Chains A and B, each alone.
Chain A
Amino acid sequence: NAGVTQTPKFQVLKTGQSMTLQCAQDMNHEYMSWYRQDPGMGLRLIHYSVGAGITDQGEVPNGYNVSRSTTEDFPLRLLSAAPSQTSVYFCASNLRGGNTEAFFGQGTRLTVV
């Protein structure tokens, strides 16, 4: 049982480039989320999904897009990378919402130069 799998683990982008961070879970969880972690800021919610075809914005959504075509996958797209998006990104899943246990992927360290 792999849990939550994120790829890639590391990425360097140039300003203006686009890329997709992949996230997949094999626990049949309905809810999936993307967080970013910056020094001294804890984890902040970017986007989340409560099921296939349903997504919503979190605290810091600007510059990111998401879609949820299947229960298993929840990719995060950076449309035009900016240095302010340099961060560590975590994907999480939980069975049903904020009152069920959440599990995290191993993270993606992204640097935008």
Chain B
Amino acid sequence: GIQVEQSPPDLILQEGANSTLRCNFSDSVNNLQWFHQNPWGQLINLFYIPSGTKQNGRLSATTVATERYSLLYISSSQTTDSGVYFCAPGMSGYSTLTFGKGTMLLVSP
């Protein structure tokens, strides 16, 4: 099956800093999702992004499917951005997503 690697595994930021999280995958994909798991354990959909760039407030994501990676940008980070960020590529012909192990982000005040 597809292999998914996320980097960095851990990240500590000061409030207001910017960051880039990376997701590499080993095979061609039809879509990619980014999730935020908040400190209460909820998985929140951030982006569904097969290719190109999408923006939602301070967050944006870019997927370059031909080069098998996706990036999640967090600008002007806030303490509420803390948690674990997962990427999950999806492929047609496959019934489910495959998850990376996540990037744990801590934003300190």
Contact = CB atoms under 8 A, between A and B. Distances in A.
Interface residues of B, number: 25
Contacts of A56: 95
Nearest to B40: A106
B43 interface: yes
Contacts of B86: 42-43
A1 interface: no
Interface residues of A, number: 27
Contacts, number: 72
Interface stretch (A20-28, A60-68, A70-78, A95-103): A95-103
A41 B84 CA distance: 12
Contacts of B91: 98-99
A99 B42 contact: no
Interface of A: 31, 33, 35, 40-45, 48, 50, 56, 58, 88, 90, 92, 97-104, 106-107, 109
